Amino acid sequence: MTDTITERTAEAPHCVFESKDFASGAHPVWCPGCGDFGVLAGLERALAKHGRPPHEVVLVSGIGCSSRLPGYMSTYGFHGVHGRALAAATGLKLTRPDLEVIVVGGDGDGYSIGGNHFIHACRRNVDMLYVVMDNRVYGMTKGQPSPTTEPDWDSDIAPGGIGLRPFNPLAIAIAAGANYVARGFSGDPNALADLIVDGIRWPGFAFIEVLSPCVTFRPEQTGWKKMVRSSTISIEQDRAAATRLVLEDDGFSLGVLYRGDRAAVAPPLTPSIAVTDIEHEFALNERA
């Protein structure tokens, strides 16, 4: 997979970092065995490999177990409100395009309350990476079904299951215009690190769905390590074929699904209208 990283390699500074340079030293409060530990390890390895110093990287998150991740890294971080991480990150990237902006969060945060932002972030195609740790449940708030929960998942909160068709994040990302779409697994941090570097370096909005088990509320997800299949989705630049593949997939194929060629959005940083002109336009009529 890494041999396909070509687009922006030449732009990356040639600094030498190790994974530990990106660790904050704070001990994660996640449950022992939580998949999010693997994503943290993958992200640290990816950033060391990418080669930009911690102070040039910003991690933005919303609310949830996985959204605690920025606190465990030495980069800049913004732990915002529920479902709004992409909106904050978009504003940051447009005003500071020199920074590496990475958004992290969970399936509840990103696909439910943040679902609208997800769709429009794909559509806008601002140059940043979005990593969703999907465990098909709301972990922090004690196990409610999320948008990706299976319809027949039985729990105390939803006896018999919710009976709703799960949200398909990869298909929606492609349809909405994301320029890079992939799926990884928390149980293989090295392969995940390669995907993350690839996503960071691909121009435009990159989305990586990471299967990340919640061992507390979905203990059966520990079986995912036997269900995932590495590097089995690689349609690349055919949107229709990529969409068909992901709709027919059982959700456990890993790899890059789609790489588009849309140019990333980069509006000019100089304002088209002066602030004084805006003030003048909205000034109250003193004679009124």
65 touching ligand SF4, by CB under 6 A: yes
State which amino acid sits at residue 196: I
Q: Report the chain's terminal Cα–Cα distance, integer Å.
A: 67
Strand order in the sheet with 76-79: 76-79, 57-61, 100-106, 128-134, 205-211, 180-185, 255-259
Nearer to ligand SF4 by Cβ, of 38 and 169: the residue is 38
What's the min distance (Å) between Cβ of 179 and Mg ion? 25
List the single partner that 36 binds among Mg ion, ligand SF4, none, CB under 5 to 8 Å by kind: ligand SF4
Q: Is 260 within 8 Å of 237 (Cβ atoms)? A: yes
135 touching ligand SF4, by CB under 6 A: yes
39 touching ligand SF4, by CB under 6 A: no
Q: Is 62 within 8 Å of 83 (Cβ atoms)? A: yes
For residue 182, the number of C-alpha atoms closer than 13 Å in the C-beta half-sphere is 29
List the single partner that 215 binds among Mg ion, ligand SF4, none, CB under 5 to 8 Å by kind: ligand SF4
149 touching Mg ion, by CB under 5 A: no
Of 24, 144, 155, 216, the one binding ligand SF4 by CB under 6 A = 216
What's the min distance (Å) between Cβ of 162 and ligand SF4? 19
List the single partner that 171 binds among ligand SF4, Mg ion, none, CB under 5 to 8 Å by kind: none
Compute how many other C-beta atoms are within 10 angstroms of the C-beta atom of residue 21: 16
Nearer to ligand SF4 by Cβ, of 36 and 194: the residue is 36
215 touching ligand SF4, by CB under 6 A: yes
Token representation of residue 186? 């928390």
Token representation of residue 283? 């000034």
* Residues contacting 155, CB < 8 A, separation 6+: 143, 145, 217
List the single partner that 224 binds among Mg ion, ligand SF4, none, CB under 5 to 8 Å by kind: none
Tell me which residues in 94-123 interact with Mg ion (CB under 5 A): 106-108
What is the C-alpha separation between 17 and 5, in angstroms, rounded? 19
Nearer to ligand SF4 by Cβ, of 73 and 126: the residue is 73
Q: Is 245 within 8 Å of 236 (Cβ atoms)? A: no
Q: Which helix (H) or strand (E) covers residue 123, if one does?
A: helix 115-124
Tell me which residues in 2-31 interact with ligand SF4 (CB under 6 A): 30-31
41 touching ligand SF4, by CB under 6 A: no
DSSP three-state, residue 184: strand
List the single partner that 107 binds among ligand SF4, Mg ion, none, CB under 5 to 8 Å by kind: Mg ion
Token representation of residue 234? 């690689």
Nearer to Mg ion by Cβ, of 146 and 179: the residue is 146
What's the min distance (Å) between Cβ of 91 and Mg ion? 25
Nearer to ligand SF4 by Cβ, of 12 and 215: the residue is 215
Token representation of residue 222? 């520990």
- Taking CB under 6 A as the binding criterion, the range among 94-102, 151-159, 176-184, 211-219 that sits at the site for ligand SF4 is 211-219
Q: Is 121 within 8 Å of 264 (Cβ atoms)? A: no
Of 42, 77, 114, 139, the one binding ligand SF4 by CB under 6 A = 139
Q: Which residues contact ligand SF4 (rule: CB under 6 A)?
A: 30-31, 34, 36, 65, 135, 139-140, 214-217
